[in-house]
Amino acid sequence: MLYVYLINQLNMSEIKKAWLILTVMLYVVYISIMWKWGHDDMNFWMGWSQYMFHNGFTKIYDMEGCNYLPAYLYFILFHVKIQGTLTNIQDNLYSIKFYTLLFDFLGAYAAVWFVKDEYKKIFYFFFLLFNIAYIYNTALWGQVDAIFSFWGFAAIVAAIERKLIVSVLFLVIALNFKLQALVFIPVVGLLLLPHLLSKEGIKKTVYAVCICAVLQFLILFPFIIKGRLHQVIAVVKDAVDHYPYPAVGSFNFWVWMMPKDTNIGMIIDSQHFFISSYKHVGSFLLMGAAFIAVFPLMKFEYLKYFRKAEIVFPLEKIFLVSSLIPLVFFYFNTQMHERYSHPALISLAAYAFCTKRFFPLILGSVAYFLNMEKIFHYLSWTNYNTLIFEPRFVAVLYLSLILYLYYLLYSKPTDGEAYNFRMI
């Protein structure tokens, strides 16, 4: 086949060529059997596509209900241009998943970035891509969390490798897709903080800020020249309190705090709860849980860069921290959708691949899958009223995962145990 011939022309090892060929083949298989619809979110993509077709790109925010940042709207614009006609847009809307699926593949590649053995790297890469929980969000639900999740984790990888400009650039790209990418800021920020202690680091920081400012200007440029920047700003402001409920399909801490079978809309998160409101209590719990997660990394950087101690921080513990932040964000915050734990999956996978401890990834995948499938019913099973799909049971799975990750984060190596990788 032509693509096999082209790949053979690349200056790559045979095993990497085989990896690339198999990756292309798997991608083709996935898009060939891709389900041609998704969750109700697909109705938004349809409506926005039709509106762009009739009215143009920059007028999209005139449409009520368009609350996504411009970065993903460019994907929809590309899809509209490729399809060409309104009929094609409607008939082939499912193909918009093809673009998001690319980032599932890129995310899997990022997850195996630090695996040294090439055969294991390839095996783990496909292991993650065959995880139904990992591709559920894209292939079945039709959402786009894989995009910002990849860019956010890639920012962490770049920060670990001390590529400050690249890391900041990737983080800004992630934030331009969804503000949920804020969950990557604590880890990226702490990893890049030592750069500010040197003249060269400050110089790179200035470069990074300038490059990101240019990128941000280019993303917003169509709206700026049309005098519609205020609409983008309004979308950012509306991102908070758009769904002002304790939980929006998420099986987290709040399913225990509300009466069983409470419908969304019956309780507003600004209502009184305990000593404050649902929202404020959730924010307090989130800040406390997040601080506990980042404390070991904060302590390490203080001792190493301020006290000049000769210490190291295990790379796999960075992945524990980067798993915990999105998980506690999902678990304790109010207004959470069922999809908001997705950014943790790549970090859980990276931890599993570096340590060969697969239990956290399996537990996280099971909890995420059960939460998504309970809401979506894609598989049309007959047991959605049984224990495994009970919201409080799934919430226990998530809590068990979080507590276990804390245990791993704060535990010391046992006798004879050595970490596979270390950050110096």
pLDDT in tens, 35-94: 899 999 999 999 999 999 999 999 999 998 899 999 999 999 999 999 999 999 999 999
Confidence of residue 3 (pLDDT cuts 50, 70, 90): low
Identify which of 372, 376, 371 has the alpha carbon closest to the alpha carbon of residue 398: 371
Residue 251's alpha-carbon distances to 70, 146, 241, 327, 332, in angstroms, are: 29, 20, 19, 12, 10
pLDDT exceeds 60 at position 1? no
Q: In this predicted structure, what is the pLDDT of residue 265? A: 62
Please check whether residue 255 is in contact with residue 391, taking contact to mean a CB–CB distance below 8 angstroms: yes
Identify which of 324, 321, 341, 320 has the alpha carbon closest to the alpha carbon of residue 395: 341
pLDDT mean across residues, the chain: 91
Q: Where are the domains of the chain?
A: 1-33, 34-423
Q: In this predicted structure, what is the pLDDT of residue 30? A: 96
Tens of pLDDT along 156-210? Answer: 999 999 999 999 999 999 999 999 999 999 999 999 998 877 888 889 999 999 9
Q: In this predicted structure, what is the pLDDT of residue 305? A: 83
42-51, 168-177, 231-240, 292-301: range with lowest mean pLDDT:
231-240
Confidence of residue 227 (pLDDT cuts 50, 70, 90): very high
Q: 248 forms bridges with which residues in the sheet?
A: 337
Question: If you average pLDDT over residues 324-343, what whole number do you get?
Answer: 96
Q: In this predicted structure, what is the pLDDT of residue 263? A: 65
pLDDT exceeds 90 at position 261? no
2-16, 319-333, 374-388: range with lowest mean pLDDT:
2-16
Identify which of 198, 182, 139, 218 has the alpha carbon closest to the alpha carbon of residue 330: 182
pTM of the model: 0.93
Higher pLDDT, 225 or 304: 225
Nearest 10 degrees: Cα torsion 355, 414, 326, 149: -20
Residue 422 phi/psi, 5-degree rounding, is -140, 150
Distance, first Cα to last Cα, the chain:
45
Confidence of residue 418 (pLDDT cuts 50, 70, 90): very low
Question: If you average pLDDT over residues 241-264, what whole number do you get?
Answer: 83
Higher pLDDT, 275 or 423: 275
